[in-house]
């Protein structure tokens, strides 16, 4: 009973936030994403990281394409690859933006010929997507559990990127839900 209540509450939040993301113009998205990028690149945790895992944004998420292109110049960059069968991620080093192609879920991932697998243990900092976050740093994704499984296995510092409107009062959590270490919006950094 409680499980169904949590699932329903999460679905309501997902629906509401996705509608807000769709209503945001491309110009607003890019402007806010640039402000988020400046905060991220100014973080001590980012500056100290040698190996950074970035999600490749799609569908109105905080736009990471420019962040990735810029980070390629100074960091060892890693991009996740989705495995639809068991909803897990593997990781590949990215040397060049042009090595990405559209794959599962219409997300850019490394093309097969350029995949250079990286162990999760090599990653210092993980940039995490989310549909919604709360001030306790709980995160809610699309519901498939890809990033929950990742967050469970890593010792890396995790940073959630979100627009201010993606911060909600409280996200209902389940035992498998893992919070992030830091959240960055265009207006604030939550430690």
Q: Are 87 and 146 in contact (CB under 8 A)?
A: yes
- Report d(CA 124, CA 115) in Å as an integer: 20
Report whether pLDDT(1) > 80: no
Q: Are 106 and 147 in contact (CB under 8 A)?
A: no
Specify the CATH number for the domain of residue 125.
3.40.50.10420
Residue 5 is predicted with a pLDDT of 84
- Report d(CA 105, CA 146) in Å as an integer: 12
Domain membership of residue 61 as a residue range: 2-190
Residues 91-130 have pLDDT tens digits of 999 999 999 999 878 899 999 999 999 999 999 999 999 9
Q: How many CA atoms lie within 13 A of 34 on its CB side?
A: 5
Residue 143 is predicted with a pLDDT of 84
Measuring CA to CA, how many Å separate 99 from each of 47, 58, 67, 183? 25, 17, 16, 29
In terms of pTM, does the model score above 0.75? yes
Report whether pLDDT(38) > 90: yes
Q: How much is the mean pLDDT over the chain?
A: 95
The residue among 78, 22, 45 whose CA lies nearest residue 184 is 45
Average pLDDT over residues 155-161: 98
Go through the chain and tell me how many residues it has.
Answer: 191
Cα dihedral 150, 155, 161, 162, rounded to 10, equals 70
Residues 52-61 have pLDDT tens digits of 999 999 999 9
Residues 132-147 have pLDDT tens digits of 999 999 999 988 889 9
The total number of structural domains in the chain stands at 1
DSSP letter for 17, please: H
Rg (CA), the chain: 16
């Amino acid at each position: 009973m409680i499980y169904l209540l949590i699932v329903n509450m999460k679905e309501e939040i997902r629906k509401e936030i996705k509608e807000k993301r769709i209503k945001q113009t491309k110009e607003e998205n890019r402007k806010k994403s640039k402000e988020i990028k400046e905060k991220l690149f100014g973080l001590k945790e980012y500056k100290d990281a040698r190996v950074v895992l970035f999600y490749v944004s799609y569908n109105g998420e905080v736009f990471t394409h420019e962040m990735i292109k810029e980070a390629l110049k100074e960091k060892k960059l890693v991009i996740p690859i989705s495995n639809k069968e068991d909803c897990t991620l593997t990781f590949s080093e990215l040397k060049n933006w042009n090595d990405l192609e559209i794959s599962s879920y219409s997300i850019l991932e490394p093309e097969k010929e350029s995949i250079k697998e990286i162990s999760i243990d090599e990653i210092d900092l993980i940039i995490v997507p989310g549909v919604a976050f709360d001030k306790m740093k709980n995160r809610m994704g699309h519901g498939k559990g890809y990033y929950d499984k990742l967050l469970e296995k890593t010792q890396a510092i995790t940073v959630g990127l979100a627009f201010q409107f993606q911060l909600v009062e409280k996200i209902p959590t389940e035992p498998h839900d893992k919070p992030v270490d830091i959240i960055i919006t265009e207006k604030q950094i939550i430690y």
